[in-house]
Structure 1
Amino acid sequence: MEKGMNVAEIFGQDVFNDTAMQERLPKKVYKELKRTIEEGKELELDTADVIAHEMKEWAIEKGATHYTHWFQPLTGVTAEKHDSFISAPLESGKVLMTFSGKELIKGEPDASSFPSGGLRATFEARGYTAWDCTSPAFVRRDAAGATLCIPTAFCAYTGEALDQKTPLLRSMEAINEQAMRLIRLFGNTQSKRVRPSVGIEQEYFLIDAGKFRERKDLIYAGRTLFGAMPPKGQEMDDHYFGTIRQRVAGFMKDVNEELWKMGVTSKTQHNEVAPAQHELAPIFEVANVAVDHNHIIMQTLKRIAGRHGLKCLLHEKPFAGVNGSGKHDNWSLTTDDGRNLLEPGSTPHENIQFLLVLTCILKAVDEHADLLRESAANPGNDQRLGADEAPPAIISVFLGEQLEDVMEQLISTGEATHSLDKGKMHTGVRTLPDFAKDATDRNRTSPFAFTGNKFEFRMVGSRDSVAGANVVINTIVAEAFAEACDVLEQAEDFDLAVHDLIKEYATRHQRIVFSGNGYSQEWVEEAQRRGLSNLRCMVDAIPALTSEKTVAMFEKFGVFTRTELESRGEIKYENYAKAINIEAQVMINMASKQILPAVVGYTKVLADTVLAVREAGADHQVQAELLTEVSALLKQTKDALKVLREVSEEAAKEAKSEIRARYCYEKVVPAMERLRRPVDQLEMLVDKEVWPMPSYGDLMFEV
């Protein structure tokens, strides 16, 4: 019998965490590093030298030969350049293994080769990585051996952020400063910092690696561009929380072991709604560490899948007709001494600070809904958002019946005199206990839902970094806190001013609150009456990034400059156009080289069959009708293919990325859909032995 692993023993064994630092660093150096982490002070070079030496010795004991500054450029994935610890050879022919404080603190990758949206010209190559000492270094093990990974920020030579982490750290400072102002007004003199706490649920698909290699669309685009639905999809809801298949269970076991060693608190795993879809969720962490760990999770899922003959798909919509994948970004604010600003009192209306925080967040989401929607925009999410799955493309906030009742009292009478109590949920079964009933139900159709002591932003795509979404949430809430504090700090009667401010915010921003079915057409119409935007595609969402309101807010809090925002807008337009172009070219390639030849060959078989049956004197009507139907669909496919080629060539002529992206959305995407329709119909008619690629059934049910 296999001995079970001891999680407590292996957890964090490959992380240069607080325990490792206390064991290895001199007390003075350890205290200086802790002060840097907690107060954001600059680290002295002589102190960094000691830390680097001990970190190197620790990593070498773990088998590491190389180190890398592990960063998050604007490519959507992480990047790394590996350097070995060896120094120049000695006269004896031996080498020393060295790692200096300078090498730890700063690296210099080529900045011109990463997306910069015009911030850096091709000949302007210098960029810097800077150690984020608040996110611990770790050793990662793969085919290259063991590598010391040092989480870093990435900036241009001129200082602009070229990554996801730099603005995230800036936004964390902004929310800390403004939240500290707010809690000081309410008499909190103990807490020293307020940090956004984030829990990120990761959805993904697993399919057989062999079948993956037979699908050019999955290889190049990450999603199926053709494919008819199998006889059974997710209709029976039998996959959700179902027993995990043994092959997948073995994969999950290895994933957990790898993550635990790297200090990632992999907590929950289960089957998701769609066939072959699964979810992994860690425990809450400080925002920048949570983002780093989510990247580790995505990389680990992909790497471990290969060991099991599987392929992990992180695309938001790998299969049409079944639920896609996202990330649920659970966000809250917590002080350094453990107080959650989103934790209600025994009855929420008695907790005036909680209500002010809550209404400030309503204000923030209402005033910057388009920007929040943009933070979750990518080409894959266009297929997912607004479909019959969480969430819709319209931003709204779910509070639950208890808090909505309190809000309605504040709006109508100016005060809240009662709240809906938590009741007992009687089971009626003597062998089961009665459960304490939560004050509110959950709403899976809400993009931004209050779930007890946190908000759950459900829009982020499954392969995206959640850094962008958290940058937006942190900053818009910081702005709302700042504006509230500006009023309250000048108030003669604080209690009255707080009361009036809560009522004002609840009244002015009640349009953003919605607790009904976000999937319904009635909500689309109601949202339009309320004046809420419905940005169905990425191209429509990108302008929110560079609006005057957005620029003013980000510059006020030092999170982004106008130039940085404009560069990100340019990158997003480029990425959209490139992604659609790749998908279009893959469809053209597959249709031309695989599908049309296969169907033409099949029509010959049908024609020969018609002739043979007719010569035999039997009724050949069915064979003839099938030949006619297949031939008609073949012509539709050929005509649609021609149109797709034409619009793709036209899109490539446009030099301006914004115009090219808009053209791709308005012309190329519909042309792709027109090509797909007859091909998917042909898949249902053509002999499976002839069809040139695995079907949806092969991919989703044979794992």
Structure 2
Amino acid sequence: MKIFGANVFTDAVMRERLPKNVYKSLKKTIDEGLPLDPSVAEVVASAMKDWAIERGATHFTHWFQPMTGFTAEKHDSFISPTADGKVIMEFSGKELIKGEPDASSFPSGGIRATFEARGYTAWDCTSPAFLKEDAGGVTLCIPTAFCSYTGEALDKKTPLLRSMEALSKQALRILRLFGNTTATRVIATVGPEQEYFLIDKKFYEQRKDLMLAGRTLFGAMPPKGQELEDHYFGSIKERIAAFMKEVNTELWKLGVSAKTQHNEVAPAQYEIAPIFNTTNIATDHNQLVMDTLKKVANRHGLVCLLHEKPFAGVNGSGKHNNWSMATNDGQNLLEPGTTPHENAQFLTFLCAVIKAVDDYADLLRVSCANPGNDHRLGANEAPPAIISVFLGEQLTDIFEQLGNGGPKSSKQGGQLTVGVTTLPPLPKDSTDRNRTSPFAFTGNKFEFRMVPSSLSIAGPNLVLNTIVAEVLSQMADRLEKAADFNGELQAILKEIATKHKRIVFNGNNYSEEWVEEAAKRGLPNIKSTVDAIPALITEKAVALFGKHGVLNETELHSRYEILLEQYCKQINIEAQTMIFMAKRQILPAAAKYTALLANSINAVKSAAAGADVSAQVETLEEVSAVLASFKKKLADLEKVTAEAKGLEGDVYEQGVFYRDVVFKAMGDLRADGDKLETMVDSALWPIPTYAEMLFMI
């Protein structure tokens, strides 16, 4: 396909345009993590500029991922004035390597004060530069890391890259012990599935809650939701198919291997999934996917909603993070083979992941924490807030054998006969799948299913990389000192199988029985974002991330502050938006309806003495009672929201108040608002309904 990667400064483009010695030097930096030669950057910058200009680019930008969770960019043109009043197109190695955006205007958690503005962006040469095409023209985008003047990471990319190096270092120690002397790097690979909603733009523009908060704060359930299960994998409507076609074209040009697309479970909900890639590139690509979904939707008169729960009562959106490890020469370290019980190397890495998930479940939970995900986790539509590992029948059996002295056999899948003579027998997998598990082994990778749809995948993956690196480090420390490698390895695997079997669960994670069982096993059940965030600043977390050079104590505390501030700000925006909609839209509509009812009653009485107006009177009384309750609950929400603003001195205390008091008051107000929607004349109701938004597309 000619368009694939057409807008990417790919390896093939570099090989064609760079001198051989420069290309080889850059490849060593990319593939082996060697320091970048500044003279190489100068040559690369010139070639990159020429390539971009040939394709219509006039500007370049350092494209980075600050702690907002979105991407950021500041555009500079290639033009440079000359003495004769003209301009030439220039781009230097210095401009490629380093940029200086204002660091004080991004979330820093106290690392940067308002008057301390300097920050740096640094070229991430391991992620290819690309061209962004839009109404503003063509821009050369250079993926970068973002740090403060004093060197702390202010972004999501920097600690992710550090975690990838940590995982590679520790995994190589294990591989060397197994006799692998050829691999020079171990790469964390990811394939993130992205869920999203699409609604007609005209409805979006009439909903202040969607515009300001990303989710509907009022909205009664329509007569039909998802109960017929007819949307999932259903025939894709032409309007949506046209949108998806353009999304694919735009992503393919950017080198994003968008492969799978389909209708999801909820009405108006969809999914797109790429092929696996290196974690930092997959992270960049997922940001491009979210950006492209929004831009292309707008061109089609649609709006893409990435919020985890834009519509109450129907399934929300997540982002399944398919994670694995591979050597730079192509060996998947989580590939079990046909006889996994005999594959000691696979079992070593498998057990390392299981132990890491059990030891650091709290950090995995906080990596997926945001206000939107609080609506999903544990709501029988997404994994519960309790983290467990699904291994399936075959690997669970082997894991149990490890704990009982050593594995001797592997359960096999065999053949599945469908029962129709014209259909061939199907090779049957060795185990079923479990869509309720938050962390499931799915053949040669783990699927981390808790990740929120709107979140950057950098956070969950830097935690995964780091915790697995730590367990591999512990294992390598013992094995490198062992006189009997095989004996010590068997002892380690048996120890893990015995101590960490509590984290393995293959049943229904949605059941109340599992909640009770998990409590007996001592597994944490962290139900909210506010409860999860303190895990970042425990002694255990500081020691872990510090040991592997991923995040220092200052950086961890900054993220603690940022996440709590973002939670408080988001709930405050939602509360203020509810107050606005209640006062300016719902109250006037309901009051107008009651006035019409009252006038109707009086008119009927005047026109026909003794006429039965009991139905109108009863309706008026019902609506008036709900309206009075709605008005009282609106006053309550205004009061507690004002109180929350007064707690700004202690961000954790404020977060708890927003969760326990403000959020509850919002729910109380919504209950009456949604009831009014079912009672007020639809011609008077001021905002689009769920039925319109979810089905009129």
Asked if TM exceeds 0.5, the reply is yes
The one-letter code matched in structure 2 to 1:599 is: A
The residue that corresponds to 2:107 in the other structure is 115
Q: State how 1:658-697 maps to structure 2 within 5 Å.
A: 658-697=652-691
The one-letter code matched in structure 2 to 1:211 is: F
The residue that corresponds to 1:222 in the other structure is 214
Query: Offset at 1:608?
Result: 1.5
Query: Offset at 1:631?
Result: 0.5
Q: Render the CA deviation track for 1:378-403: whole Å, top value 9, x for unaligned.
A: 01101111101121111000000111
Structure 1: unaligned runs, 5 residues or longer? 1-7
CA distance in 1, matches of 2:381, 2:137: 41
Q: Render the CA deviation track for 1:407-453: whole Å, top value 9, x for unaligned.
A: 22222x31222221121111111221111111111111100000000
1:386 aligns with 2:385: no
The residue that corresponds to 1:3 in the other structure is none
The residue that corresponds to 2:692 in the other structure is 698
TM-score, normalisation: structure 2: 0.99
1:237 aligns with 2:229: yes
CA distance in 2, matches of 1:420, 1:624: 70
1:621 aligns with 2:614: yes
How many residues align? The count is 694
Q: Render the CA deviation track for 1:97-136: whole Å, top value 9, x for unaligned.
A: 0000000000000001100000011111110000000000
Query: Offset at 1:612?
Result: 2.6
CA distance in 2, matches of 1:442, 1:114: 42
The more displaced of 167-176 and 523-532 is 523-532
CA distance in 2, matches of 1:471, 1:605: 59
TM-score, normalisation: structure 1: 0.98
CA distance in 2, matches of 1:261, 1:113: 32
1:156 aligns with 2:148: yes
1:9 aligns with 2:7: no
The residue that corresponds to 2:646 in the other structure is 653
Query: Offset at 1:44?
Result: 2.1
CA distance in 2, matches of 1:514, 1:53: 55
**SS of match in other structure, 2:142:** strand
**SS of match in other structure, 1:337:** coil
Q: Render the CA deviation track for 1:45-81: whole Å, top value 9, x for unaligned.
A: 2221111011001001111000000000000100000
Q: State how 1:95-174 maps to structure 2 within 5 Å.
A: 95-174=87-166
Query: Offset at 1:265?
Result: 0.3
CA distance in 2, matches of 1:511, 1:91: 74
1:295 aligns with 2:250: no
CA distance in 1, matches of 2:351, 2:164: 20
Q: Render the CA deviation track for 1:22-47: whole Å, top value 9, x for unaligned.
A: 11111111111111111222222222
> What is the aligned counterpart of 1:367 among 359, 365, 369?
359
CA distance in 1, matches of 2:39, 2:480: 43
The residue that corresponds to 1:44 in the other structure is 37
What's the C-alpha RMSD, in Å, of the aligned pairs?
0.8
Q: State how 1:8-27 maps to structure 2 within 5 Å.
A: 8-27=1-20
The one-letter code matched in structure 2 to 1:270 is: H
The answer (yes or no) to whether the contact 2:124–2:145 under 8 Å persists in 1 is yes
Query: Offset at 1:618?
Result: 2.4
CA distance in 2, matches of 1:435, 1:481: 38
> What is the aligned counterpart of 2:84 among 50, 67, 92?
92
CA distance in 2, matches of 1:670, 1:302: 31
1:344 aligns with 2:336: yes
Q: State how 1:501-650 maps to structure 2 within 5 Å.
A: 501-615=492-606, 616=608, 617-650=610-643
The one-letter code matched in structure 2 to 1:255 is: V
1:280 aligns with 2:272: yes
CA distance in 2, matches of 1:526, 1:612: 64
Q: Render the CA deviation track for 1:598-647: whole Å, top value 9, x for unaligned.
A: 10000011112222333423221111111111001001100100110000
CA distance in 2, matches of 1:178, 1:47: 30
The answer (yes or no) to whether the contact 2:354–2:500 under 8 Å persists in 1 is yes
CA distance in 2, matches of 1:345, 1:299: 38
The one-letter code matched in structure 1 to 2:684 is: V
Equivalent pairs: percent with the same residue?
A: 64
**SS of match in other structure, 2:684:** coil
The one-letter code matched in structure 2 to 1:39 is: E
CA distance in 1, matches of 2:28, 2:177: 26
The one-letter code matched in structure 1 to 2:180 is: N
CA distance in 1, matches of 2:82, 2:355: 64
Q: State how 1:62-81 maps to structure 2 within 5 Å.
A: 62-81=55-74
The one-letter code matched in structure 1 to 2:222 is: P
The answer (yes or no) to whether the contact 2:261–2:270 under 8 Å persists in 1 is yes
The more displaced of 353-362 and 365-374 is 353-362
1:437 aligns with 2:431: no
The one-letter code matched in structure 1 to 2:398 is: V
The one-letter code matched in structure 2 to 1:661 is: G
The one-letter code matched in structure 2 to 1:73 is: P
The answer (yes or no) to whether the contact 2:371–2:570 under 8 Å persists in 1 is yes
Q: State how 1:205-220 maps to structure 2 within 5 Å.
A: 205-220=197-212
> What is the aligned counterpart of 1:462 among 437, 446, 453?
453
The one-letter code matched in structure 2 to 1:163 is: D
The one-letter code matched in structure 1 to 2:685 is: W
**SS of match in other structure, 1:379:** coil
Structure 2: unaligned runs, 5 residues or longer? none
**SS of match in other structure, 2:387:** coil
The more displaced of 488-497 and 376-385 is 488-497
The residue that corresponds to 2:191 in the other structure is 199
The residue that corresponds to 1:4 in the other structure is none
CA distance in 2, matches of 1:282, 1:650: 45
CA distance in 2, matches of 1:85, 1:141: 16
**SS of match in other structure, 1:66:** strand
Query: Offset at 1:358?
Result: 1.1
The one-letter code matched in structure 2 to 1:568 is: R
CA distance in 2, matches of 1:471, 1:192: 21
> What is the aligned counterpart of 1:401 among 393, 414, 425?
393
The one-letter code matched in structure 2 to 1:609 is: S
**SS of match in other structure, 1:421:** coil
The one-letter code matched in structure 2 to 1:120 is: R
Q: Render the CA deviation track for 1:315-365: whole Å, top value 9, x for unaligned.
A: 000000000001000000000111011000212111111111111111100
The one-letter code matched in structure 2 to 1:527 is: A
The one-letter code matched in structure 1 to 2:244 is: M
CA distance in 1, matches of 2:690, 2:567: 26
The answer (yes or no) to whether the contact 2:32–2:184 under 8 Å persists in 1 is no
CA distance in 2, matches of 1:449, 1:505: 18
CA distance in 1, matches of 2:75, 2:55: 17
The answer (yes or no) to whether the contact 2:61–2:76 under 8 Å persists in 1 is yes
The answer (yes or no) to whether the contact 2:44–2:93 under 8 Å persists in 1 is yes
